[in-house]
Amino acid sequence: MNVRAIFIDMDGTLLKASNYISRRNMEAINRLINQGVKVFLATGRHYEVTAPYHKEIGLRTPMICLNGAAIHDAETGRVMQMTTVRLNEERFHHLTAESPCNVIIHTANGLYCKETNEEIDYWTEVGQIPPRYIGDLRQATYQDVLKYSVRTGASSTELSALFKKEGEVIDWNDGFEIVAPNVSKWSAIKSLLTEFQISPNEVAAIGDGPNDIEMLRHAGIGVAMGNASEKVQAAADIVTGHHEHDGLAEFIERYLLKSYEPYAI
């Protein structure tokens, strides 16, 4: 396989459920970099909770964050590309207020949320930046929204469908997210491929979530994790192992490393 670049999702792919990178995944990535392959992170996370892992691996490539709504420079963290989403705010808050849910709004200046939770506490610990606002979002003053996240605790396709004319909607098992129209990890990847003069056919993309489907379909090699849903796996060319069992490293070792040696467990 002539792969010059790989784009890696974080949660459910690079990271174990305990939010750390296994030694095997780290070693496989480092061997790939030494082989001359460019390694990128492509995540739904915001920059502050992506950068520490990017640094841990030692990457020098731009970071795709917030499902492609932002691309950040590797060295400075500055925003290289940003696409904001515009909703009818009054309608959005009215509709989400009718359902018991948490609303998280990612903006260019930070995080705004209806209420905090374990995930947001983790983001604060890792990113060292707490939410700018917690409470009734109708009273908050924010601008330059990159992503809306509505956490209902269950699939909410009837509610999410109400926003499909305003933005790109990604449905999850516990709610949905909204970014600007035509924004995705793949749209951000295409921008970087132009910059680095790499063909889509020379790209591998690996992930486990509905926000990964487009990049799995369009990359030269799309790889779904063993923990991905059937819908995500159906979009991929290859299905590798579970993220708790180093499925990322399994794929890299088997298909991308020029000198393959079985990993000693």
Please report the domains of the chain, with CATH numbers, ordered by start residue: 5-82+183-256 (3.40.50.1000), 89-179 (3.30.1240.10)
pLDDT for 258 = 86
The mean pLDDT of the chain is 96
From residue 130, give the alpha-carbon distance in Å to each of 81, 170, 221. 24, 25, 38
The Cα 217–Cα 151 span in angstroms is 26
pLDDT for 97 = 87
Q: Residue 54: pLDDT above 90? A: yes
Q: What is the mean pLDDT of residues 3-29?
A: 98
Tally of CA atoms within 13 A in the half-sphere of 192 that contains its CB: 31
Tally of CA atoms within 13 A in the half-sphere of 129 that contains its CB: 15
Q: By percentage, how much of the chain surpasses pLDDT 70?
A: 97
The Cα 62–Cα 85 span in angstroms is 22
Residue 98: pLDDT band by 50, 70, 90 thresholds?
confident
Residue 61: pLDDT band by 50, 70, 90 thresholds?
very high
Q: Residue 72: pLDDT above 60? A: yes
The Cα 110–Cα 186 span in angstroms is 24
CA 35 to chain centre: 25
93: Cβ contacts below 8 Å, ≥ 6 apart = 103, 137, 138
pTM for this entry: 0.95
pLDDT for 262 = 57
Q: What is the mean pLDDT of residues 137-145?
A: 95
From residue 126, give the alpha-carbon distance in Å to each of 28, 41, 61, 236, 265. 24, 17, 20, 31, 29
Give the torsion sign (CA, 118, 123, 128, 134): negative
pLDDT for 260 = 56
